[in-house]
Structure 1
Amino acid sequence: MQTPTKPQPQLLNRELSWLAFNRRVLQEAQNPEVPLLERIKFLAIFSSNLDEYFKVRVATLRRLVKLKKKTKAKLGEDPAEQLKKLLEEVGRQQQEFGETFRDKVLPELHRQHIHLVSGPDLTGEQQQWVQTYFREKVRDLLSPIILDDNLHHLFLKDQTVYLAFSLSELVKGKKSDPEQRVLVMEVPTKRHGGRFVVLPTVGKERYVMFLDDVIRCGAAELFPNYRQVEAHALKISRDAELDIQEEVSGNLMLKIKSSLQKRATGYPARLLYDPAMPQDSLRLVMKKTGIGQEELVEGSRYHNFRDFFGFPNFNQAELSYPDQPALPHPTLPKAGGKLLAAIATRDHLLHLPYQSFDYVTRFLTEAAQDPQVTAINITLYRVAAKSEVAKALVKAAKNGKHVTVVVELKARFDEESNMYWAEKLQKAGAHVIFGMPELKVHSKLALVTRTEDGHNKLYAYLSTGNFNEVTSHIYADHGVFTSDPRLTSEVAEVFRYFLDHQPKSGFKHLLVAPFELRDKLNALIDHETKLAKKGQDAYIILKLNALQDERMIRKLYDASQAGVRIELLIRGISCVIPQQPGQGVNIQQRGLVDRYLEHARVYVFGNGGEEKVYVASSDWMNRNLDRRVEVAFPILNPELRAEVRHLLDLQRQDNTKSRDFDNHLIGPESPDAPRIRAQFATYDYLKKLARRRPASSKVEPKPGPSAGEA
């Protein structure tokens, strides 16, 4: 008798899952309880996310569609069908985005005496002011390109707003000009210093204008020979996938530089256009750029809403979230104190952005200046343009320390900054390693070697977040300072791999990809499954940015069917379909979108009452588990483990900003139940912790998720 084939598990399409995440961002822009200027920022985030989505995911699918060989078997779905579905969803979201801006945000700005005006809205006095501003501040920044027979190809820069001018009806006496003409010019946002122009205040009324509209107002002066001048916005997004052969030999730096140049001139993934643009003008732009019908996406009068990150605040603090000054750390010394001495005595857990990233830069600066420190090793994935971290490493190298820096040149959209600092570090004498062959180095590790009593003592910082001062203000991450040899000796083994390229195994505490992370996660899931089958309490809690790996999802489905209670806190992509009979009946899922971007990864396994808690750099995606160097590290100190669990429990209990699998807000269980907003509650908890450590550090973690919990 033939054994029946086990049905394949159902998975949510990755692309649609990502779009569901971006819709959660849009929901924050629609929420009237969110301060107005923060809602505008969420519109900017939505737009920025969608730009990157087209540059990477849509561009990749379009390349797959163009391939002659069949790709359906590999993807599980025909790429053309997949592309059609996601573009339909993008269209729906963009329509909703436009309605949100026009019908909700603009009227609320008006109620707050802030007016985003265009030419027809201006008074005579304002028109005169704008014309003067155009002549003095804008006109000399413009470079029109005429689309005529002399122009063989029009190149539009990636992620840049252009205005296409359609000119007609010559003024009498100017017969030397053609009757019809089309020109394109870049809106000089960077050279101007921003996308917005603030007009003079009238009483308590404040006025602001798109730079695009200032140019439109000056169009008559630009083209005096024509009676009719129309201007419509264009923006192109280019394929951002770098085609890099990650072989062992060859100069990777040169390859990256070459690929970045190709990205700037990469294949068009999308051309956004104003639907009011005359069709003959649009066809001429398409002809000159070589853009086909499939790359056309109908937009609106304005593009590049990411520029709303720079929308003026008019000094109205009440329209933004209240300031949350970085909190002092309860166990690390204040500025001027010795961090290495404090780390020698105990572990310290850092929570960003609630506590300051300055502790990290101080750690590296102190090591750079300490005469007993002999070496500093660090991994750099995304480096700030004005990186204090990199400056400390340069100083250390110049001070004679042996500085080894693993710089990931393939960190998408941060390659240029990483290359800049890699070259600076090399010139300072640091040993710079450009990632690993065929792998991205995504782990966040720093290791300091210090000579004490004739022996080398190791100090480490392990984190979920990048060594980046800028993102540390908006990304919520965990990091641990430790001199515990159980961890530092294994961190040293990871750095040894970067030097000798010999695969490592036998880590007792760290879970390291691509060597053992997947296998050890499987073993941890299997252990919970065995407990459940014995009738014992078994649970798994995962906080991730993304859960996409099919094999891991299958393991979770099997564990769920065996009775393991699984709770997922997923910010972005999740291909799991929870609470489905036959595969995920014991799986519950929620996602949190709030003021800060949830970036930390935390894995919790019940382990028969002796919980195992890991903090990690790795999501559960194919690339993280198999094609990156990632590190998950246990929180060994019981007090700090309870601290991580308490913060995780606050997110599990959030009934203000959490959304379920269907993107519905999870509200209080009853009208009288208290409202819990995890990010605000986290700040309050860490504030109390800083004031009275003994009383507030004895946090008892909740047991695993009960069957009735969301």
Structure 2
Amino acid sequence: MFAKHENFINRELSWLKFNSRVLGEANDQQKPLLERLRFLAITSSNLDEFFMIRLAGLKHQLESGVNKIDAAGLTVEQQIMQISEAAHAMVKEQYRHLRSILRNLEQDEIYFCDVQEIKGKDKEWLDNYFHHTVYPVITPMAVDASHPFPFLANRTLNLAVTLRRDNEISMAVIPVPGGLPRIVAIPGNAKKKRFVFLEQIIMTFAQKLFYGYKIQDMAAFRITRNADLSIDEEDVKDLLAEVEKSLRQRKRGQAVRLEIAKSTKPDIKEFLIQALKIVEPDVYEISGPIDLTCMMKFVDLPGCDQLRYIPLVPQMPADLVGEEDLFAVIRQRDILLHHPFESFRPVIDFVRQAATDPKVLAIKQTLYRVSGNSPIVRALAQAAENGKQVTVLVELKARFDEENNILWAKRLEEAGCHVIYGLVGLKTHAKMILVVRQEESGIKRYVHMGTGNYNDTTAKIYTDMGIFTANDQFGADASGFFNVLSGYSDPPVWNKIVVAPLGLREKIESLIDREITFAQEGRPARIIVKMNALLDKEIIMKLYEASHCGVKIDLIIRGICALRPGIPGVSENITVRSIVGRFLEHSRIFYFSNGGDEKIFLSSADWMPRNLNERVELFFPVDDERHTERIKGILELLLKDNRKAYVMKRDGGYRRVDRRGKGINSQSWLMELASQAANVPEISLAQRLKPMYRKDL
């Protein structure tokens, strides 16, 4: 009954709906203009990754003769067709929003100019810029019998040029230099900020690259390639070397998308289709500048603070206000951190203090994604140089962070750290730090566990939770966890934590089963789940069973959700909502009413097959009553959000939550609540969350 195709939503189409919600933020008239532009850039970046990984994977399946049916009843071929239709519509909407934003920016004296309209001294400046800055780095490439179509790197912008000499037509390609600014400021006007795109400058002066030929036509284009890594870990002797080899292969993957200027004449378009061996549905004709990810840097334009959000100032957690000795505070009580509303600095300080504390004997940590200039990695290196025993698991296969992680792994090894790369066939996605300290009473273990990466940059824009604890049972679990990762130890019997892929699926199902039992006994039964994605078919069917038995289930799923709510007799007790706002909702929180003995867990894992079956993940309880009350309040606040929340309909589409009544923007509330708690730490955040209805912030 629960396994019918019509009870599920296709993964890829669900993701595209999520990206549409992100795109919707670019059309929010209440949002500062440059922030709207930022969401356009985010949407484009998301689409790039989708094409490079998800669509590329489907195309590879089809080429390999695999056309299996997914949980929603779609074949691979049907998925590709529906993806193409939805993605083309999304791109058109992107550029409608772009034109609207650019028109509005002109009211603030910010102009994107057409090079052809620039005259006088400004044209002279552009001429000089081309000859002295652009021309020296340009390499025009002929395409003919002796010059085959050049290899063009993934996601690079290029110009295709049709040339005429006498009665002969020739083709050439000009790669747009990636080392130069894509958006060029025209100097000389104090009041107006004027900009042109680099490719327009090149097109204006390109004739000077082809003496003896006449340019007949020119068009900007961009290629997206298959960027998925294929690593057979079973036969690999050196994982580091194998990942480095695969990264080189990634750059040469098969083209899966061609973006080209809409005004392009058919001969250039056909030439590129043939050269890249793609089909017409993979061609995206763009009505504007290709590749809006370039706007990610532009939105930080100096002197335009009024067009951006007021900067967030992350607060010190109330438990740590005025405290200097982290270890002393953690010995007294567990500390809950809620980023970005509360500062990530205590996590950095935790490792820094451990690195210099003479009582610390060892530090062990997992690293999945870190920033480009990570203070945590520097502190780990310093700890090793100070003679501490430092063990770091660096996940080399963290998608699109492989090169960064390889660099850090080598630097940590040079500093004297023991660097390990995890278990064969599994990505290590768990987030844990263990500090072992010699104290008067004996060995004491301090642990940090979280829902997000140890990345000080993303901690400012991703919502995540973490806990510091000196609980002996967590400490013993942490030691056992790292022994499993670094050696040949079988998993022990855990005291507190649950670890995927051994046991997490079973734990989730048992927690749901317990709610089912309470519902069948006529007792209150409720589940609240906050995650990034819900895709696992078996878990979804277990949620359907719970709903059928009367369990009330509220799902806060930011992105992919394959579950379909509101089906009579199946999911009528389930609601699904997605919050898309200023910060990326990234925390994984799980609430079970448990017959009145409420249980709350945090985790690094979403409920997806890859997290439950193919990754090392952590799932751990929140034991401190202060923190459980606080997290319950946060969950209820998220469920009451009527400014940034979308509710999924039975057909899989989404609608904005009804905005009537008191306005609640959950992220804005949490910013203010964190600020108030830091200034008056004796009043807990849990207490401050109780008055739920306040003015919209």
Instruction: Give the TM-score range, shorter chain.
Output: over 0.9
1:327 paired with 2:315, answer yes
Aligned-residue offset at 1:500: 2.9
Distance 1:124 1:537, change over 3 A: same
Corresponding residue of 2:303? 315
Moved more, 482-491 or 30-39: 482-491
SS, match of residue 26 in structure 2? helix
Q: Among 532, 543, 550, which residue is 2:530 paired with?
A: 543
1:518-529 alignment runs, 5 A limit: 518-529=505-516
Aligned-residue offset at 1:507: 2.3
| Alignment: residue pair count | 687
Asked if the contact 1:328–1:334 (Cα under 8 Å) also holds between the matched residues in 2, the reply is no
Corresponding residue of 1:138? 134
Asked if the contact 2:259–2:284 (Cα under 8 Å) also holds between the matched residues in 1, the reply is yes
Q: Among 91, 94, 108, which residue is 2:88 paired with?
A: 91
Corresponding residue of 2:687? 699
Give, in whole Å, the separation in 1 of the partners of 2:410 and 2:322.
33
1:532 paired with 2:523, answer no
1:206 paired with 2:202, answer no
Aligned-residue offset at 1:505: 5.1
Instruction: State the one-letter code of the partner of 1:185.
Output: I
Corresponding residue of 1:583? 570
Moved more, 276-285 or 341-350: 276-285
- 1:168-195 Cα distance to aligned partner (Å, 9 max, x none): 3x5xxxx6xx743322122113x21x31
SS, match of residue 656 in structure 2? coil
Aligned-residue offset at 1:298: 3.0
Unmatched segments (≥5 aa) in structure 1: 704-710
Instruction: State the one-letter code of the partner of 1:354.
Output: F
Asked if the contact 1:116–1:207 (Cα under 8 Å) also holds between the matched residues in 2, the reply is yes
Corresponding residue of 1:663? 654
Distance 1:505 1:700, change over 3 A: farther
Corresponding residue of 2:663? 675
Corresponding residue of 2:45? 48
Distance 1:699 1:607, change over 3 A: farther
Aligned-residue offset at 1:463: 0.8
Corresponding residue of 1:685? 673
RMSD: 2.2
Give, in whole Å, the separation in 2 of the partners of 1:18 and 1:205.
40
Asked if the contact 1:547–1:619 (Cα under 8 Å) also holds between the matched residues in 2, the reply is yes
Instruction: State the one-letter code of the partner of 1:281.
Output: I
Corresponding residue of 1:431? 418
Corresponding residue of 2:694? none
Corresponding residue of 1:270? 257
Moved more, 553-562 or 349-358: 349-358
1:37 paired with 2:28, answer no
SS, match of residue 72 in structure 1? coil
Instruction: State the one-letter code of the partner of 2:396.
Output: L
- 1:601-656 Cα distance to aligned partner (Å, 9 max, x none): 00000111221111111000001011111111111111112222222222111110
1:555-704 alignment runs, 5 A limit: 555-661=542-648, 662-668=653-659, 670=660, 673-699=661-687
- 1:475-498 Cα distance to aligned partner (Å, 9 max, x none): 111111111112222122211111
SS, match of residue 58 in structure 1? helix
Aligned-residue offset at 1:267: 1.6
Aligned-residue offset at 1:265: 0.7
Corresponding residue of 2:8? 11
Instruction: State the one-letter code of the partner of 1:119.
Output: V
1:408 paired with 2:389, answer no
Asked if the contact 2:5–2:71 (Cα under 8 Å) also holds between the matched residues in 1, the reply is no
SS, match of residue 602 in structure 2? strand
Asked if the contact 1:688–1:696 (Cα under 8 Å) also holds between the matched residues in 2, the reply is no
Distance 1:654 1:605, change over 3 A: same
Corresponding residue of 1:464? 451
Give, in whole Å, the separation in 2 of the partners of 1:381 and 1:187.
33
Give, in whole Å, the separation in 2 of the partners of 1:106 and 1:359.
41
Instruction: State the one-letter code of the partner of 1:465.
Output: G
Q: Among 231, 236, 244, which residue is 2:223 paired with?
A: 236
1:20-31 alignment runs, 5 A limit: 20-31=17-28
Corresponding residue of 1:160? 156
Distance 1:179 1:366, change over 3 A: same
- 1:45-91 Cα distance to aligned partner (Å, 9 max, x none): 00000000000000000011111355337885310111101111111
Aligned-residue offset at 1:279: 2.6
Give, in whole Å, the separation in 1 of the partners of 2:689 and 2:622.
14
1:298-309 alignment runs, 5 A limit: 298-309=285-296
Instruction: State the one-letter code of the partner of 1:431.
Output: H
Aligned-residue offset at 1:221: 3.0
Corresponding residue of 2:695? none
Instruction: State the one-letter code of the partner of 1:630.
Output: E
Q: What is the TM-score when the length of structure 1 is the normalising length?
A: 0.93
Give, in whole Å, the separation in 2 of the partners of 1:701 and 1:623.
35
Give, in whole Å, the separation in 2 of the partners of 1:124 and 1:73.
61
Moved more, 487-496 or 241-250: 241-250
Aligned-residue offset at 1:435: 1.7
Asked if the contact 1:578–1:584 (Cα under 8 Å) also holds between the matched residues in 2, the reply is yes
SS, match of residue 30 in structure 1? coil
Asked if the contact 1:590–1:658 (Cα under 8 Å) also holds between the matched residues in 2, the reply is yes
Aligned-residue offset at 1:522: 0.6
Q: Among 75, 92, 108, which residue is 1:78 paired with?
A: 75
Q: What is the TM-score when the length of structure 2 is the normalising length?
A: 0.94
Asked if the contact 1:131–1:217 (Cα under 8 Å) also holds between the matched residues in 2, the reply is no
Asked if the contact 2:588–2:606 (Cα under 8 Å) also holds between the matched residues in 1, the reply is yes
Corresponding residue of 2:169? 180
Moved more, 458-467 or 292-301: 292-301
1:418-497 alignment runs, 5 A limit: 418-453=405-440, 455-497=442-484
Aligned-residue offset at 1:206: 1.7
Give, in whole Å, the separation in 2 of the partners of 1:566 and 1:73.
25
Q: Among 112, 118, 122, which residue is 2:114 paired with?
A: 118
Asked if the contact 2:555–2:574 (Cα under 8 Å) also holds between the matched residues in 1, the reply is yes
